[in-house]
């Protein structure tokens, strides 16, 4: 981005504290083309806004030479199941950067040897090993995973001790603020001043004093000053997650804190709705709670607070199906369809619900289970017709075919589902979906 900017291309980095509006960037592309200029937009950790990015890329790719280019990053494990616009693959280039090749591992060791300031950060035990031994150790022990390599070199375990010692040196009020900001940042992605003031007993007049005391640990930045919205953040997401791991180790305290956040939300502010959405999807939010009934209670609280919020409804339905509360799951699907209208995930969950009932509900005869699976088949086919770009509906259709084959021996539905998956993989251009399709077909002996 820096090099592009210096070469005359206008470069923007979108910050996750603000809403992503595809329509505004579509206008920006039009203005750039009109002025015969070029621009690039960088969106780091793009997944919470992927639907809007899909819209943007679909629209600007209609032009033979778009003036705006988009660079996005995402965690690979979370990227794979998401729905991506075919244009991302038709006109874009995907790079997987989690692993280092042999030459890059060797270059990493060369960097340590050539830069004294970096070498001084590395434990003497690693530095004292012969060069070839260091390269081989990183290549084999770390499987060339970039983060694991760096952690092995720098002994990042000591980072925990540094953060905890730093925390211990604070007074009780400073600790309370620091740990809460870290927790909200890890669980909800975004923290703003008013949310913290609602959750902890500090006066608005003492905010500046507290921030001065926590300088370098908690920073404040502008979001919408005219509306009194100021963001707070720790130095890095790794810091917030590390503190959360140690300072919120009690699951009941995590649950109670999340309840207080939900109950204190003001739904007229977009940033607070965004916090609830992040809370549902983050591994440090509701997902870190092992007790399924606690998770279900929290999802219900969010739905009560913001009935039109989709993600919490999706997560609730998934949790109910996983705990075999089938009647409740069906009721939630119907209520969600009425409140927020049926979308691809709701269609998919209904298919999964019928499969789960057919496979796990007690007291059913074989013909009853087949009837449920035939319902699932019709729902899957209807979903594919209505939402042809949702790759997970094709996978759900294949799951129906597999369940029917297992109970009755009839493979016709499975064969048709695999045929639909194969055609969709060629149309959607998603390499991960193509790989999933290939694995599924191999597993079934095709």
Q: What is the CATH number of the domain that holds 324?
A: 1.25.40.10
Are 14 and 110 in the same domain?
Answer: no
* Phi, then psi, of 11 in degrees rounded to 5: -120, 130
Work out the average pLDDT over 360-365.
90
The answer to whether 300 and 49 are in contact (CB under 8 A) is no
My answer on whether 83 and 133 are in the same domain is no
Report the pLDDT value the prediction gives residue 176, as an integer from 0 to 100: 93
Q: Does 300 lie in the same domain as 219?
A: no
Confidence of residue 77 (pLDDT cuts 50, 70, 90): low
Mean pLDDT of the region 88-105 = 86
Q: Is residue 270 part of a domain?
A: no
In a domain, 269, yes or no: no
> What does the pLDDT look like over 264-276, one tens digit per residue?
898 888 889 999 9
Contact present, 284 and 187 (Cβ < 8 Å): yes
Residues 6+ apart with CB under 8 A from 336: 310, 313, 317, 342, 346
Residue 261 lies in a domain: no
* pLDDT at 143 exceeding the cut of 90: no
Residue 412 is assigned to a structural domain of this protein: yes
32 lies in the same domain as 109: no
Domain boundaries, position 184: 162-249
Top pLDDT among 121 and 86 is at 86
Structure tokens at 239: 């810091």
Beta partners for residue 10, in sequence order: 39
Tokens of 108: 């990493």
Does the residue 265 lie in any domain? no
Shared-domain flag, residues 178 and 42: no
What pTM did the predictor assign?
0.78
* 149: in domain: no
pLDDT at 147: 66
CB atoms within 10 A of CB 6: 9
Question: Is 70 exceeded by the pLDDT of residue 156?
Answer: no
31 and 127 belong to one structural domain: no
Q: Is the pLDDT of residue 332 over 80?
A: yes
CB of 322 within 8 A of CB of 292? yes
Q: What percent of the chain has pLDDT over 90?
A: 62
Report the length, in residues, of the chain.
446
Residue 155 has pLDDT above 70, yes or no: no
Q: Are residue 32 and residue 176 in the same domain, yes or no?
A: no
Number of domains in the chain: 4
The structure tokens listed for 331 are 């009721």
Q: What angle do CA 306, 311, 316 make, to 5 degrees?
A: 90
Q: Please state which of the ranges 13-17, 64-68, 137-141, 361-365 shows the lowest mean pLDDT.
A: 137-141
């Amino acid at each position: 981005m820096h090099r592009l900017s210096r070469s005359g291309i206008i470069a923007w980095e979108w910050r996750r504290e603000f809403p992503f509006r595809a329509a505004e960037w579509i206008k920006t592309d039009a203005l750039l083309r009109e002025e015969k200029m070029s621009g690039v937009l960088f969106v780091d950790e793009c997944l919470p806004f992927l639907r809007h990015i899909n819209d943007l890329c679909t629209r600007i790719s209609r032009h033979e030479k778009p003036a705006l280019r988009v660079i996005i990053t995402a965690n690979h494990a979370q990227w794979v199941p998401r729905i991506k616009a075919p244009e991302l693959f038709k006109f874009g280039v995907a790079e997987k950067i989690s692993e280092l090749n042999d030459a890059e591992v060797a270059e990493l060791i060369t960097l340590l040897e050539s830069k004294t300031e970096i070498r001084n950060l590395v434990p003497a035990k690693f530095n004292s090993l012969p060069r070839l031994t260091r390269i081989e150790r990183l290549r084999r022990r770390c499987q060339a995973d970039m983060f694991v390599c760096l952690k092995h070199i720098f002994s990042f375990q000591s980072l925990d001790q540094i953060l905890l010692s730093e925390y211990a040196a604070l007074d009780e009020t400073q600790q309370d603020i620091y740990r809460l900001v870290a927790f909200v940042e890890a669980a909800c992605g975004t923290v703003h001043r008013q949310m913290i003031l609602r959750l902890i007993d500090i006066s608005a007049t003492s905010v500046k004093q507290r921030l001065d005391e926590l300088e370098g640990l908690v920073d404040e930045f502008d979001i919408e000053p005219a509306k009194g919205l100021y963001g707070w953040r720790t130095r890095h997401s790794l810091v917030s997650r590390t503190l959360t791991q140690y300072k919120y180790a009690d699951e009941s305290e995590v649950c109670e804190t999340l309840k207080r956040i939900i109950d204190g939300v003001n739904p007229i502010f977009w940033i607070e709705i965004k916090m609830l959405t992040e809370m549902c999807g983050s591994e440090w939010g509701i997902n870190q709670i092992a007790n399924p009934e606690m998770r279900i209670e929290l999802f219900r609280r969010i739905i009560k607070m913001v009935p039109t919020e989709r993600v919490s409804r999706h997560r609730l339905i998934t949790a109910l199906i996983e705990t075999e509360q089938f009647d409740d799951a069906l009721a939630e699907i119907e209520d969600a369809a009425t409140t927020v209208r049926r979308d691809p995930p709701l269609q998919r969950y209904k298919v999964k619900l019928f499969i789960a009932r057919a496979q796990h509900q007690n007291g059913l005869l074989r013909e009853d289970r087949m009837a449920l699976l035939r319902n699932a088949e019709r729902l899957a086919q209807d979903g594919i017709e209505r939402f042809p770009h949702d790759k997970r509906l094709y996978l759900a259709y294949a799951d129906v075919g597999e369940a029917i084959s297992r109970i009755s021996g009839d493979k016709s539905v499975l064969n048709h589902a695999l045929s639909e998956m194969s055609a969709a993989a060629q149309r959607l251009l998603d390499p991960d979906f193509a790989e999933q399709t290939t694995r599924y077909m191999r597993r079934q002996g095709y």
